[in-house]
Amino acid sequence: PVFYLPWAQFPIDDRRMSGFLVPEFSISSDGPDISAPYYLNLAPDYDATITPRFIADRGAGLETEVRWMDEYQHLALSGAYWERDRVYNSNRWLGGVQQTGGVGEHWYSRIDYTRVSDIDYFRDLGAYGLEVRARSNLKQFGAIGYQTDYIHVGIEARQYQAISVTTQNRYRQLPHAWAEFRYPILDGLRASFRIDATEFEAYDNLQLDEGSRGMATAALLWRKEWLPGYLEASSSIYAKYYEDTAIVVGDNTINSTSTINHIEGALFFERFQPDSDYAWVIEPKFHYNYAQYVDQSAQPIYDTTQPLQTYESLFRTNRFSGGDRVGDDNRFTLAATTRVIDNSNGQEWLSVSVAQGFYNGNRYVSLSPRLTKEVIDNPSLLPDITDVEQLELDSLTQSRSDLMLKTDVALGKEWSFTSDLNWNTSIGRINQSANYLQYSKYRQALVNVGMIYQRRGETVNVITGQLTDRDTWQSHVSAYIPLTDNGWSLFGRWTQDLTYSRQIDFLTGFEYESCCWRIALAYQRWVDPGTGTEIDDLDQRSSIRFQVELKGIGSGQSSVDKLLSGIYGYQNYEENN
């Protein structure tokens, strides 16, 4: 026995019953933290959980969650309130709504709304799970729409609440409405037409001009697939209209029309020998993208960014994400993938993909106002160019992209290796790489070892606006190791910034699990990403989490479970075994 109770009643099957759930206990820099959730089984289609919580240095708070599910929707309401946090010296609260639903086969609705009283709420009072601490903003989103195979119309409102000093949200979308029509014309040929209208409102703390954007997109796409490969081609036209007080020409309006054309194809070659256990597959691939230059420098930038250069980005038709820029392009991409496949079970033992893009001329559409067409052709016209502008200028004038290499290797049934590498062929150096080795065997061990590298000057600090001033290296080790056959296990995670000699995250603990109960103890220390702009300026925090779970009385994912989910592969390790 674990402990004795004079009398207790709890379900031994899937039936729900009102009553106290197992409390949680932890210790951090704020002292002991204890919560005692009480579950209310109100009806078959809705329930509630009320959780009194006490933190020694901060005081008492109350957290609640109400869930409602029927044939039309799944709705969850959450809230928390702290009367006069003694450390923060203020009342603190959280409110949230999550909803998915619909009427009939085609109508749908979505709500994902979370708001907190202050930027430090989750760091001070939220769960210590990695996914909470990694958030930089809270989504506040709602949408309704109608969708079939040929029509999709809807309207949404979207904004974010920043909960990190490194977050720079600029505009709310209040609202964004769209109508899209898709129609197959012939076998392999289809047409689409989409209209978007968005009103952009600046966040209160930013002195930005506000405006609206209308956009119409028409496209033709043809794709034909054969056993030995495929071929596809598309032609798209983008018409945009802006009304913004920052536009100084005419009546504060501006419009533009751009086109993008692309063709892509691949072939599949398989070498099979009857006396071999493996098949060797080679897949050469090409992609050609052409978009004529259209001056868009007078258009506002509401929701547009330029994604990092990756293997997948070499096959994008528009190098920008968002609706404010259509990048000019004259690019030819060559790629190849080779695979080794086990004939007996179809398992892929090896996959290696390589790709590189080749540009015919400079690109002129930019996110930097000072990087005009004239400056890009003659950089000496901008003698005071900043480091960030120089980084973008280099990307616009390079004649070829980095050489992208992706590797996945299955080293037996338990070992696997993955690698992503960007090689700058102009200077003969690696720009960035990420390499991970994993061992996973049920009842023996789950172990991950990784290394990430970023060459100096390739990334920008979003607060200071400056480039990184040195090469950065980060190492990662995580593990979940069963010690005995009767339920004892160790787990841990360690992430170290080797450049700054700073520990980013450290986790260690153990758990015991049997058929009827589970106990876990975890210690974690981490740097808080919301407390500074440089890795060596960040504050460090720590906590100890203790959990006891009686099977059948648990309250879902606990704080220790959230920590374990931060170990890469742990979810599959548990579910697949």
Residue type at 82 in one-letter notation = W
From the list 65, 124, 122, 50, the residue with the least C-alpha distance to 98 is 65
pLDDT at 169 over 80: no
Residue 123 has a pLDDT of 82
- The confidence band for 135, taking pLDDT boundaries of 50, 70 and 90, is low
pLDDT at 199 over 80: yes
- The confidence band for 131, taking pLDDT boundaries of 50, 70 and 90, is very low
Structure tokens at 532: 């500074």
Residue 325 has a pLDDT of 95
Q: Report d(CA 331, CA 396) in Å as an integer.
A: 12
- The confidence band for 531, taking pLDDT boundaries of 50, 70 and 90, is low
Between CA 134 and CA 490, with CA 22 as vertex, the angle to 5 degrees is 60
Contact between residue 263 and residue 292 where contact means Cβ atoms under 8 Å apart: no
For 382, the 3-state DSSP assignment is coil
Residue 133 has a pLDDT of 44
pLDDT at 6 over 60: no
- For the ranges 14-23, 422-431, 455-464, the lowest mean pLDDT is seen at 455-464
Residue 129 has a pLDDT of 34
Contact between residue 572 and residue 564 where contact means Cβ atoms under 8 Å apart: no
Average pLDDT over residues 399-425: 92
- For the ranges 258-267, 332-341, 536-545, the lowest mean pLDDT is seen at 536-545
Q: Report d(CA 418, CA 407) in Å as an integer.
A: 6
Q: Report d(CA 520, CA 546) in Å as an integer.
A: 6
- The confidence band for 534, taking pLDDT boundaries of 50, 70 and 90, is low
Residue 128 has a pLDDT of 40
For 348, the 3-state DSSP assignment is strand
Residue 358 has a pLDDT of 97
- The confidence band for 519, taking pLDDT boundaries of 50, 70 and 90, is confident
Contact between residue 137 and residue 156 where contact means Cβ atoms under 8 Å apart: no
- The confidence band for 387, taking pLDDT boundaries of 50, 70 and 90, is confident
Contact between residue 59 and residue 71 where contact means Cβ atoms under 8 Å apart: no
- The confidence band for 5, taking pLDDT boundaries of 50, 70 and 90, is low
Structure tokens at 22: 């197992």
- How many other C-beta atoms can be found within 10 angstroms of the C-beta atom of residue 480? 21
pLDDT at 130 over 50: no
Q: Report d(CA 502, CA 484) in Å as an integer.
A: 34
More confident residue, 560 or 15: 560
Residue 273 has a pLDDT of 73
More confident residue, 309 or 153: 153
Contact between residue 62 and residue 81 where contact means Cβ atoms under 8 Å apart: yes
Structure confidence by residue, pLDDT tens digits, 238-260: 999 999 877 656 677 889 999 99
- How many other C-beta atoms can be found within 10 angstroms of the C-beta atom of residue 508? 15
Q: What per-residue string of b and e applies to 78-109 under the rule 16 or more CB within 10 Å gives b?
A: bebebeebeebeeebbbebbebebbeeeeebb
- The confidence band for 204, taking pLDDT boundaries of 50, 70 and 90, is low
Average pLDDT over residues 107-132: 78
Residue 411 has a pLDDT of 83
Average pLDDT over residues 255-284: 91
Structure confidence by residue, pLDDT tens digits, 444-503: 889 999 999 988 755 555 445 555 667 888 999 999 998 887 789 999 999 998 888 888
Residue 433 has a pLDDT of 93
Contacts with 486 (C-beta within 8 Å, 6 or more apart), sequence order: 514
- For the ranges 323-337, 369-383, 421-435, 449-463, the lowest mean pLDDT is seen at 449-463
Average pLDDT over residues 544-568: 72
For 373, the 3-state DSSP assignment is helix
Q: Report d(CA 400, CA 309) in Å as an integer.
A: 12
Q: Report d(CA 170, CA 301) in Å as an integer.
A: 10
Sign of the alpha-carbon dihedral angle for 391, 392, 394, 398:
positive
Q: What is the torsion angle, in degrees rounded to the nearest 10, for the CA atoms of residue 150, residue 155, residue 157 and residue 158?
A: 10
How many helices (H) and strands (E) would you count in the chain?
6, 29
Instruction: Please write down the long-range contacts of 564-567, taking CB distance under 8 Å and 24 or more positions apart.
Output: 564/480, 564/491, 565/129, 565/130, 565/131, 566/129, 566/130, 566/131, 566/478, 566/493, 566/507, 567/446, 567/448, 567/478, 567/479, 567/480, 567/491, 567/493
CB burial class (10 A; 0-12, 13-18, 19+) of residue 520?
buried
Structure tokens at 328: 């000019």
Percent of the chain surpassing pLDDT 90: 51
pLDDT at 192 over 70: yes
Instruction: Please write down the long-range contacts of 182-187, taking CB distance under 8 Å and 24 or more positions apart.
Output: 182/149, 182/150, 182/151, 182/152, 183/150
Across the chain, mean pLDDT equals: 86
- How many other C-beta atoms can be found within 10 angstroms of the C-beta atom of residue 184? 11
Q: What is the torsion angle, in degrees rounded to the nearest 10, for the CA atoms of residue 78, residue 83, residue 86 and residue 88?
A: 50
Contacts with 210 (C-beta within 8 Å, 6 or more apart), sequence order: 171, 200, 201, 202, 244, 245
Average pLDDT over residues 89-108: 92
pLDDT at 404 over 90: yes
